[in-house]
Amino acid sequence: MRLIGFFVAALAALPEVVECAAGRVHHAKDGSVIGTTAGRPTILPKPLTTGKQFIKSERRKRTCFVDALGNGQDDGPQILAAAQECNGNGTVALLSPLYTIATPLDLTFLNGIDFDIQGTLKFTPDTDFWQENSFKYTFQNSSAFWQFGGYDVHIFGSGKGTIDGSGQVWYDLYAKDPLILRPILIAYNGLHQATVSGLKLRYSPQWYQVVIDSSDVIFDDIDIFGGSVSSNPAKNTDGWDTYRSDNIVIQNSHIDNGDDCVSFKPNSTSVVVQGLFCNGSHGISVGSLGQYYKVYDLVEDVYVYNITMINASDMARIKVWPGVQSALSVDLQGGGGIGLVNNITYDTMQISNVEYGIELTQCYGQKNLTLCNEYPSTLTIQNVMFKNMFGTASKKYDPTVGTLVCSSPSVCHNIYAQNINVVPPSGKAPKYTCTNIDRTLLNIPCV
C-alpha cells in the first residue's frame, strides 16, 4: 500500500489607515477604547504535514480600522472598502463588538492582507434577500454569504472573533420548504497560501465552510456550534467541505454540528485533518462521490489523525452514489458518476456513542438495495487504511459496530483495518458487515 508523504512536524467613510503594529489601542471619536489590535499568529501544520510548502508572509505595514456603524446599519460596504484600501501588505482590523452584514461580500481579489476579527459579524436574517443575492456555485446547488479568495491571506479571530449566520430562521424555513437556497457561512473560493485561525463560527444556515479551487491553506483553532432551539434541526451543517482543492490542513478544532465534521468532496487531494473534537456529526467523510452522471471524481492522499468523535452517526466514512440516478431527499439526488478514491488513512480515533465506527458504502442516497445491486457503482476505492480506533458504539445497530460494503470486488482493492477495538454498549461480541471486500486484509470480525 502506497503511503502519502506525511511527516511529523450605509456607505461609511474610507477606513482609518495607520502604520501596522500589534497591541495598538484603537479609540472611538469620543475617546473611548474600542479595542487593541492582535498580532497575526504563526500557524504551522502540526504534528503531521502534507509534505508540501506553505509560504511565510511579510509583516503587514498598514492597518485599516473599521468601526461598526451601529443601530442595525449595514457594515458590509465599509468592510469591503477597508479590504480594498489595505489590500497589498495591510491589515483590516474589526474590533467593534458587533457588525451587521446585510450585503454579500466578494473578497476574492485579495493579495497580501490580514483580517484581525475580534468582534461579531452577524448576517441579517432576511431569507428572501440572501436567497436572491448570495454567491451561487454549481456544485450541489450551493451558495454563500461571502467569499474569500486570492494569495497570501491570513484571517484570525484570536479566540473571540465570531461569524454568525442567523441560522434559526433558515432551520425553520427549510423544515417547510427543502428547496430553499440556504447560504454557506464562508466560502474560500480560489484562496491560496492562507491561514484561518481562532474563529468562532455560529449558526450557519447550511455548511459552515467550503474550500473551492484553493490550495496551501491551514485552518487552526476553529470553534463551530449551531444547534436549533426549535423542533426543526440544523441540517446539512458540515464543518468543512473541500472541493477541487489541494494541500489543505484542518487541525486543533472543536465542531458541534449536525452533519459531516469534515467532508472531502470531489477532487480533494493532499489533505491532513488532525486534532479534532466532533460532536453530533456524521463523521469525517470521503464524499459523497459519484453524484453527477459520468463525471470523474477524485479524492486522493488524505490523512485523518487523532480524532475524538462522540454522539455521531459515523467516525470514518466513505460514501459513493450507486451507478444510476437515485434520490436521497427532495433536495439531494444523483448517481452514475465515475472516479477514484486512493490512499486514504484514518489513524488514531476515539469514539463514544457512534452508530458505525467505520462505514464504507457504494449505495449512498438509495435505500433500495436491489437497485444498487442492479446498477453497481464503478467508482474505484483502493489503498485505504483504518487503524487504531477504540471506544463504544451506540445501541442503534448493536452488536454491529461497522459496515464495509463495496458494489463489487472489482472496484475495491487494498482496504485494510488494523487495531480496531470498538465494542457495542450491550457487551456482546462486536460485528461488522463486510461485502465484496477482501476479508483477509480486515482484522475485524466480519459477518
Q: Where are the domains of the chain?
A: 7-441
What cell numbers appear for 447 in the block?
A: 459477518
- Answer with the residue of higher pLDDT: 374 or 307: 307
pLDDT in tens, 182-213: 999 999 999 999 999 999 999 999 999 999 99
- Answer with the residue of higher pLDDT: 365 or 7: 365
The model's confidence at residue 371, banded by pLDDT at 50, 70 and 90, is confident
The residue ranges of DSSP E strands in 43-164, in sequence order, are 48-49, 62-65, 90-94, 98-101, 105-117, 120-123, 135-136, 143-144, 146-156, 162-164
Per mean pLDDT, which range of 55-59, 189-193, 393-397, 439-443 is the poorest?
A: 55-59
Distance from CA of residue 404 to its chain's centroid? 24
Q: What are the residues whose beta carbons fall under 8 Å from the beta carbon of 123, sequence distance 6 or more?
A: 101, 102, 130, 145, 164, 165, 166, 183
Closest CA to 145 of 186, 84, 111: 186
**pLDDT value at 313 more than 80:** yes
Q: What is the pLDDT of residue 250?
A: 99
**pLDDT value at 12 more than 80:** no
Mean pLDDT of the region 283-306: 97
**pLDDT value at 11 more than 50:** no
Per mean pLDDT, which range of 22-31, 46-55, 56-65, 70-79 is the poorest?
A: 22-31
Closest CA to 355 of 311, 324, 322: 311
The H or E element that residue 127 is part of is helix 127-133
The model's confidence at residue 3, banded by pLDDT at 50, 70 and 90, is very low
CB contact at 8 A, 307 and 251 = no
The Cα 322–Cα 338 span in angstroms is 10
The H or E element that residue 174 is part of is helix 167-176
Q: Which residues pair with 318 in a beta bridge?
A: 286, 360
CATH code of the region 7-441: 2.160.20.10
Predicted TM-score of the model (pTM): 0.95
Q: Cis (ω within 30 of 0) for the bond into 47?
A: yes
Q: What are phi and psi of 217, to 5 degrees?
A: -125, 135
Q: How far is CA 353 from CA 276, 280, 308, 349, 430, in A?
A: 17, 10, 11, 13, 14
Mean pLDDT of the region 161-185: 97
Q: What is the pLDDT of residue 21?
A: 58
Per mean pLDDT, which range of 92-106, 129-143, 308-322, 328-342 is the poorest?
A: 328-342
The model's confidence at residue 19, banded by pLDDT at 50, 70 and 90, is very low
Q: What is the pLDDT of residue 8?
A: 46
What torsion do the CA atoms of 102, 221, 305, 341 make, to the nearest 10 degrees? 20
The model's confidence at residue 327, banded by pLDDT at 50, 70 and 90, is confident
Q: What is the pLDDT of residue 23?
A: 86
Mean pLDDT of the region 221-247: 97
- Integer-rounded Cα Rg, in Å, for the chain is 22
Closest CA to 241 of 345, 307, 159, 142: 142
How many CB atoms sit inside 10 A of residue 230's CB? 10
The model's confidence at residue 160, banded by pLDDT at 50, 70 and 90, is very high
Secondary structure class of 49 (helix, strand, coil): strand
Q: What is the pLDDT of residue 6?
A: 52
CB contact at 8 A, 60 and 85 = no
What residues act catalytically? Answer: 282
Place of cell 485599516: 64
The model's confidence at residue 7, banded by pLDDT at 50, 70 and 90, is very low
Q: What is the pLDDT of residue 247?
A: 98
The Cα 290–Cα 377 span in angstroms is 8
Share above pLDDT 90 across residues of the chain, in percent, rounded to a whole number: 89
Q: Left (φ > 0), alpha (ψ -120 to 50) or beta: where does 228 sit?
A: beta
The model's confidence at residue 437, banded by pLDDT at 50, 70 and 90, is very high
**pLDDT value at 2 more than 60:** no
